[in-house]
């Protein structure tokens, strides 16, 4: 058995000096310059990542530890909720603690963590990235330098009941028409993740992009929500709650809530990440949709939607005393054999293009071809060194409208102002 510790162990005295934007509404100082390239130190390391009930992460770590008895890896659990994981890591880094050597970080945190000097630049010579897909690889870069390596990637997808729908909707209008099928079967029509947390920011960004708009400009310096396209994206969500396309219960859904609702037979359509496919396809207690699950591109305003490019990266702490070992472990985790385990045991999407063309894997996981296409069209989430503040701004402005307070026009106006203010605090 390996030692396990929860993120709460990183609080206490550290919390007294931490100023975490997601929790306290403030922005940590970005005055610390990013460290220069050049990793040093070998020895045992600690890997902070989410709990994994599949046992796949344990398998990977045990394989490493068997081959590296003098540089063993200890796992330290972080919350599976993005906001809480961000808080725990920020507190650890602000304390300049060497407790964490390698951290699993949300891809949208890379600019913030790099700008604050919390994670080390990873030289090209330290980790071979030649086989990693370009889109995920880009999420680990900041100011033209690499600060994180993608471990697994994600793109939003549409799950649907194949026993009730023969052809998945390609547009929002088609989705709404199909809701008649849901009503006839006394189930909800469509859901995503609409609770007030990072997932809501993702769903709003995705809807805006699927209407041809964006939340911020390409440089991440200017809010771009004052457009007809952005309004159409927000209006789709707001009106879908009002007309029943999205059931009212979905206002509380995070990823797992929505997955369980779909697998319990309560939804016709679900927007979620690729990890859901394995779980929803496997017969078992509490799963009423096994053998009845299809996966398709998200619908958009006038055609296929623009899924959000998600995923989690591997970063090396600037305060680690064993950074060279950390880099070797990161390279180990993104090698083909370990990426296969990531897919087959954890149900996560690999970052190596070759695995999406592997005949054996495609036969076992027929959704890989569709996922590869989704990744080709996926749009990165808004890039900002103040992601926590930006995300909170989107959540606060959009959530009220989804609850029925105000119009889509009101929500877009508030979003433009709130995101502008968040970007000013970078």
Mean pLDDT by 10 residues, the chain (426 residues): 33 33 39 61 97 91 98 93 88 96 96 96 95 93 95 95 97 98 98 96 97 91 95 98 97 96 98 91 93 95 94 97 98 97 92 95 89 88 89 94 92 95 89
For residue 160, what are the β-bridge partners? 269, 294
> CB-based contacts of 171: which residues, under 8 Å, 6+ apart?
299, 300, 301, 302, 303
Please give the Cα distance from 382 to 405 (Å, whole number).
25
Report the topology of domain 156-308+383-424: D-Maltodextrin-Binding Protein; domain 2 (3.40.190)
The pLDDT, as a whole number, for residue 274 is 87
The torsion region of residue 103 among left (phi > 0), alpha (psi -120 to 50) and beta comes to beta
Please give the Cα distance from 181 to 158 (Å, whole number).
16
Closest CA to 314 of 302, 297, 326, 301: 326
Helix (H) or strand (E) holding 113: helix 110-115
3 state DSSP class of 5:
coil
DSSP annotation of 204: H
For residue 313, what are the β-bridge partners? 105, 150
Helix (H) or strand (E) holding 288: none
3 state DSSP class of 393:
helix
Please give the Cα distance from 151 to 338 (Å, whole number).
10
Residue span(s) of the chain under CATH 3.40.190.10 come to: 7-154+309-379, 156-308+383-424
The CATH class given to the 7-154+309-379 domain equals alpha beta
Please give the Cα distance from 100 to 89 (Å, whole number).
9
The pLDDT, as a whole number, for residue 37 is 57
Please give the Cα distance from 24 to 188 (Å, whole number).
36
pLDDT tens-digit profile of 24-80? 334 444 444 444 558 999 999 999 999 888 899 999 999 999 999 999 999 999 887
240: Cα within 13 Å, side-chain hemisphere: 27
Please check whether residue 342 is in contact with residue 50, taking contact to mean a CB–CB distance below 8 angstroms.
no
Instruction: Please state, in angstroms and as integers, the Cα–Cα distance from residue 162 to each residue in 116, 147, 202, 317, following that order.
Output: 47, 42, 26, 45
Please check whether residue 131 is in contact with residue 331, taking contact to mean a CB–CB distance below 8 angstroms.
no
> CB-based contacts of 142: which residues, under 8 Å, 6+ apart?
34, 110, 111, 114, 115
Closest CA to 10 of 119, 73, 91: 91
């Amino acid at each position: 058995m390996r030692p396990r510790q929860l993120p709460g162990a990183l609080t206490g005295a550290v919390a007294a000096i931490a100023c975490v934007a997601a929790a306290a509404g403030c922005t940590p100082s970005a005055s610390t310059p990013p460290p220069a390239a050049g990793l040093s130190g070998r020895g045992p390391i600690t890997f902070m990542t989410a709990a994994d009930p599949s046992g796949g992460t344990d398998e990977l770590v045990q394989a490493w530890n068997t081959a590296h008895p003098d540089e063993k890896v200890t796992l330290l659990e972080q919350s599976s909720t993005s906001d809480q994981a961000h808080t725990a890591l920020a507190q650890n880094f602000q304390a300049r603690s060497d407790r964490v050597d390698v951290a699993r970080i949300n891809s949208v945190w890379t600019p913030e963590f790099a700008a604050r000097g919390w994670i080390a630049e990873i030289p090209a010579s330290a980790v071979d990235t030649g086989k990693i897909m370009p889109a995920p690889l880009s999420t680990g870069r900041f100011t033209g330098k690499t600060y994180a390596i993608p471990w697994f990637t994600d793109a939003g997808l549409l799950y649907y009941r194949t026993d009730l729908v023969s052809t998945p909707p390609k547009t929002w209008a088609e989705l709404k028409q199909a809701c008649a099928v849901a009503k006839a079967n006394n189930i909800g029509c469509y859901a995503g993740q609409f609770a007030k947390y990072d997932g809501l920011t993702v769903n709003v960004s995705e809807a805006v992009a699927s209407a041809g708009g964006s939340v911020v400009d390409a440089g991440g310096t200017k809010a771009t929500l004052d457009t007809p396209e952005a309004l159409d994206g927000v209006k789709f969500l707001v009106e879908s709650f009002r007309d029943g396309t999205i059931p009212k219960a979905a206002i509380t859904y995070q990823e797992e809530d929505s997955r369980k609702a779909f697998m319990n037979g309560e939804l016709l359509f679900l927007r979620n990440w690729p990890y859901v496919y394995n779980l929803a396809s496997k017969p078992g207690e509490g799963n009423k949709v096994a053998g009845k699950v299809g996966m398709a591109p998200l619908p958009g305003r006038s055609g296929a939607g623009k899924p959000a490019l998600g995923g989690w990266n591997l970063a090396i702490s600037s305060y680690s005393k064993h950074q060279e070992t950390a880099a070797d472990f990161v390279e180990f985790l993104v090698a083909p054999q370990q990426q296969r385990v990531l897919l087959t045991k954890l149900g996560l999407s690999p970052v190596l293009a070759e695995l999406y063309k592997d005949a054996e894997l495609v036969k076992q996981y027929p959704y890989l071809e569709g996922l590869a296409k989704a990744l080709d069209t996926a749009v990165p989430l808004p890039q900002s060194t103040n992601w926590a503040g930006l995300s909170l701004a989107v959540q606060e402005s959009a959530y009220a409208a989804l609850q029925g307070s105000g119009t889509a026009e009101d929500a877009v106006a508030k979003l433009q102002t709130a995101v502008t203010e968040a970007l000013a605090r970078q």
